[in-house]
Amino acid sequence: MMNGMRESAAIQRATMRPYKIAGKWYYPSRVDIGDIFDGIASWYGPNFHDKKTSNGEVYNMYAHTAASKTLPMNTIVKVYNKENGKITIVRINDRGPFVDGRIIDLSNVAAHDIGMVDKGTTQVRIEVIGFGGLVAKNYEKKFKKDLQKSSSELANEFKVGDSKETIEGGKFSLQVGTFKREEGAKETKMRYDTLVEKNTNGYSVEIQKDGEYYRVFVKGFRSEDEANDFGISNDLENPVIVRE
């Protein structure tokens, strides 16, 4: 375990629940090794140093960590600065940044790695390369190459190992639609009401208002796999699974 890293089933359950900030709901969800996301990176530093992060750790601006609105805690990601080609690697241990378009908030040292401190924000691509503080074994060769291109401290902070996403226990929901018009949400709810009536698993369908959007959820799954199977059997592409 990395120094200071908090990893337990209880923490994972707590940090994977939907949460609301400034009237907007966020839905943490599982990801896979190799998943890629594009957007804007920002960074945070001295004003937050030594303060608690969302998972109960103490923020260290000199460690390679970052905040994400929805990635599971202790996910390891490679961050590629599209504007200058520089890269770094960070572990998710906080929630944020709560600004539209921004997908990751880097620690001070990670921001220095990719040359974005003075500018404040930059366009990035992030790639999931590990879980639980460990870089996945099938990424080892790329990881070694990345170490040659970035901070020498990364080799001390990150190790390659049996990296698996561990999100356990609790109930799960499946987001099956997002609409700006309530009528669209109601039509989707009726369609899924018919589907869930055909089984005896006790699922239910609900509409949740989220700012200007209406989100439709099928609720009551006992595991992530059960929710995923329901999505696959109903031809959902990239189903969004959230913990209740």
What Å distances lie between residue 52 and 43, 55, 84, 95, 213, CA to CA? 16, 8, 32, 11, 31
User: Do residues 242 and 210 touch, judged by C-beta distance below 8 A?
Assistant: no
Question: Which residue did the predictor score with more confidence, 65 or 5?
Answer: 65
Specify the pLDDT at position 238.
72
- Domains in the chain: boundaries: 9-161, 172-243
| Domain boundaries 172-243, corresponding CATH code | 3.30.70.1070
Q: What is the CATH architecture assignment of 9-161?
A: Beta Barrel (2.40)
Same CATH topology for 9-161 and 172-243: the answer is: no
Residues 86, 77: Cα–Cα separation, whole Å: 14
Residues 71, 33: Cα–Cα separation, whole Å: 12
pLDDT digits (tens, 9 = 90+) for 53-84: 998 899 999 999 999 999 999 999 999 999 99
User: pTM for this one?
Assistant: 0.71
Compute the C-alpha angle 31/168/215, nearest 5°: 55
Specify the pLDDT at position 170.
56
Specify the pLDDT at position 1.
44
Highest mean predicted confidence (pLDDT) among 15-19, 95-99, 195-199: 95-99
pLDDT digits (tens, 9 = 90+) for 10-45: 666 677 777 889 888 787 877 889 999 999 999 998
Residues 217, 174: Cα–Cα separation, whole Å: 5
In this structure, what token pair is assigned to residue 220? 């009551």
User: Do residues 58 and 49 touch, judged by C-beta distance below 8 A?
Assistant: no
